[in-house]
A and B are shown apart, each in its own frame.
Chain A
């Protein structure tokens, strides 16, 4: 089912958490809401679920206006950050909960409920743990039980709040891949909240980058990384360098030095050039290149990070070169930008 959010606004005690957000999510899509804490991503997710009510705006599930519907009526699968498993119930009873609380005329027989819960346990690859209690499970197992419980009510929309937030790095990586595969098999429209960009970029079809209650950019992971729509997105996603430049008739100047006609359509005046560390390469050709004084060299996984001071303001930027180059530079070196983004300041 597709979800459509229209000019959604939410205030908590007059404090706006969400400023008129609009978003369309296609049926079967896996979408990440990504942003720093306080960006409104969890609020948006809870609004879609009906756990909060909007101050204004509307939410559509398909063609159905869900804005004023209760949580129960919206029929969404919600996986909570800390799983919220019922501690006094066994794993099987947890999963069966959503079916058991149905009104008598809609409720499957006890045998059918148990069968369904068993199938879901198989689906989340915990076939023999039905009689365990939540406190006897590991974090990753609890996460999967929470997911099975949410899937038991056969929702058309699956919402996950920081699904891997409380897990250690290794388990997190495994579960990420597993959830992606599960999504491909079951095809639920899935929205998940995360502050981990790696998670968002790796798992989702589209990423919604949020900041201070607004959507900064919606796009595929490639678009988000390669064509950030705002300075925030550029500096929030991946490693990012900023250099203060001046634009004059489409030409970019670093102090008095021209970097070339790189800034079409950007108004004259001060601006910032945003560069990824690996989009700079050392060169011996000074024309159009950025000169920098080498301040430090560090090893970072497969790359060598070179910190250089640029221009009169001695702004520190980082350049990544493959570690195999085995080069420890000294003094001043020029670097040619391969890809960049310029945003006017002020």
Chain B
């Protein structure tokens, strides 16, 4: 009825063709020394680039930092110790630590709330809120400080009400705290939003489908998922809170021993030509910053995986 399929000669021919492409010397061939990956530059270019980057870093970052410590210790340990045990310096250190002790937990809570709202819910005005969170990054800190003076100062919007009730905000600790909170608000939120957005709400859905309440879901699933990013954000927030100058300078009023934070105190000492004292206080600030930086590096090294999605600052 129907004829059998003939074996096609084409098949046999293609098999022979593959065999002839196997040259005997193909395996022994060694790549020439000059061979490099297509995306790698020539050694000279590579070294020039690295050297330029290192020179710039050394000049702009490392040298000033070293100079801070050199200047601070120029007069010897005794002068250094005297400078930082001065009552005004101690007051400044105490105030700076107090301000960050209030600011950082406040921004941790606010940042977590904002990130949670933005990453997990759809609501009207969401993109506006995202823009708003970035506002402190784009507005000059001086402007931020002025806003608080305009709001809470004696000539300000709430001024009459505040003075009638004997509440001091501007030129007092509350004003400094408010200004610092404003300036450092984005750090925690910015750290968490991309991570939480990437993680989505799958894990939370799994938790509630297993019977977990809203709070238990947050405590046992959401928070552990973002813990390293949260800690990272807190560190950055803390570094900035301790170092903030502009906004704080406007609202503080520079009352020595009362409303001077460390950065303000450094400036005052410097303007009074007490260079060693200024550099001594500055060196403590620098030390605190270096400490933060090293904790941050350890975090990145140990938990790089879970911090991966974060956008750099």
Chain B residue contacts of A26, Cβ below 8 A: none
Q: Which of A123-150 contact B (CB under 8 A)?
A: 149-150
Give the CA-CA distance A87 to B203 in the complex, in Å.
Answer: 9
Chain A residue contacts of B207, Cβ below 8 A: 86, 97, 101
Q: Which of A231-287 contact B (CB under 8 A)?
A: none
Contact of B225 among A71, A76, A87 (CB under 8 A): A87
Q: Which of B204-229 contact A (CB under 8 A)?
A: 205-213, 216, 220-221, 224-225, 227
A166 at the B interface (CB under 8 A): no
Counting chain B CB atoms within 10 Å of each CB, which of A70, A88, A152, A325 scores highest? Answer: A88
B5 at the A interface (CB under 8 A): yes
Given A82-B202, A84-B205: A153 and B5 within 8 A (CB)?
Answer: no
Give the CA-CA distance A102 to B227 in the complex, in Å.
Answer: 24
Given A51-B205, A84-B205, A326-B5: A97 and B225 within 8 A (CB)?
Answer: no
Give the CA-CA distance A88 to B226 in the complex, in Å.
Answer: 10
Give the CA-CA distance A328 to B8 in the complex, in Å.
Answer: 12
A60 at the B interface (CB under 8 A): no
Give the CA-CA distance A329 to B3 in the complex, in Å.
Answer: 9
Chain B residue contacts of A98, Cβ below 8 A: 210-212
Give the CA-CA distance A344 to B275 in the complex, in Å.
Answer: 96
> Shortest distance in angstroms between A262's beta carbon and chain B's nearest beta carbon?
27
Contact of B205 among A75, A80, A325 (CB under 8 A): A80
Q: Is the CB of A72 within 8 A of B211?
A: yes
0/1 interface trace, chain B 130-145, chain A, CB 8 Å (1 if under): 0000000000000000
Chain A residue contacts of B211, Cβ below 8 A: 72, 75, 98, 101-102, 153
A335 at the B interface (CB under 8 A): no
A78 at the B interface (CB under 8 A): yes
Instruction: Count A interface residues, CB 8 Å.
Output: 29
Give the CA-CA distance A340 to B3 in the complex, in Å.
Answer: 29
> Shortest distance in angstroms between A301's beta carbon and chain B's nearest beta carbon?
16
Give the CA-CA distance A88 to B4 in the complex, in Å.
Answer: 63
Give the CA-CA distance A101 to B208 in the complex, in Å.
Answer: 10
A15 at the B interface (CB under 8 A): no
A49 at the B interface (CB under 8 A): yes
Chain A residue contacts of B209, Cβ below 8 A: 49, 51, 71-72, 76-78, 150
Contact of B208 among A72, A82, A149, A326 (CB under 8 A): A72
Give the CA-CA distance A77 to B210 in the complex, in Å.
Answer: 7
**Dominant SS at the B interface?**
helix
Chain B residue contacts of A101, Cβ below 8 A: 207, 210-213, 216, 220
Give the CA-CA distance A149 to B4 in the complex, in Å.
Answer: 57
Give the CA-CA distance A88 to B206 in the complex, in Å.
Answer: 14
B31 at the A interface (CB under 8 A): no
Chain B residue contacts of A77, Cβ below 8 A: 209
Instruction: Count B interface residues, CB 8 Å.
Output: 21
B2 at the A interface (CB under 8 A): yes
Q: Which of A152-194 contact B (CB under 8 A)?
A: 152-153
> Which partner residue on chain B sits nearest A75 by CB separation?
B211
Chain B residue contacts of A76, Cβ below 8 A: 209
Q: Is the CB of B212 within 8 A of A72?
A: yes
0/1 interface trace, chain A 310-330, chain B, CB 8 Å (1 if under): 000000000000000111110
Give the CA-CA distance A280 to B221 in the complex, in Å.
Answer: 57
Contact of A327 among B3, B212, B216 (CB under 8 A): B3
Q: Is the CB of A326 within 8 A of B203?
A: no
Q: Is the CB of A72 within 8 A of B213?
A: yes
0/1 interface trace, chain A 73-100, chain B, CB 8 Å (1 if under): 0011110101011111000000001100
Chain B residue contacts of A49, Cβ below 8 A: 209
Chain B residue contacts of A87, Cβ below 8 A: 225
Chain A residue contacts of B3, Cβ below 8 A: 327
Given A51-B205, A327-B2: A97 and B212 within 8 A (CB)?
Answer: yes
> Which partner residue on chain A sits nearest B224 by CB separation?
A88
Give the CA-CA distance A51 to B206 in the complex, in Å.
Answer: 10
> Shortest distance in angstroms between B38's beta carbon and chain A's nearest beta carbon?
32
Give the CA-CA distance A178 to B280 in the complex, in Å.
Answer: 71
> Shortest distance in angstroms between B4's beta carbon and chain A's nearest beta carbon?
5
Q: Is the CB of B206 within 8 A of A80?
A: yes
Q: Is the CB of A84 within 8 A of B206?
A: yes
A-B contact pairs, 7 of them (CB 8 A): A72-B213, A84-B203, A86-B207, A87-B225, A97-B207, A97-B210, A326-B4
Q: Closest 5 A-B residue pairs measured CB to CB?
A: A98-B210, A84-B206, A327-B2, A101-B212, A84-B202
Which A positions have Cβ atoms within 8 angstroms of B?
A: 49, 51, 70-72, 75-78, 80, 82, 84-88, 97-98, 101-102, 149-150, 152-153, 325-329
**Other CB < 8 Å A-B pairs besides A84-B205, A88-B225, A97-B212, 11 of them?**
A72-B209, A72-B211, A78-B205, A78-B206, A86-B221, A86-B225, A88-B224, A88-B227, A101-B213, A150-B209, A325-B2
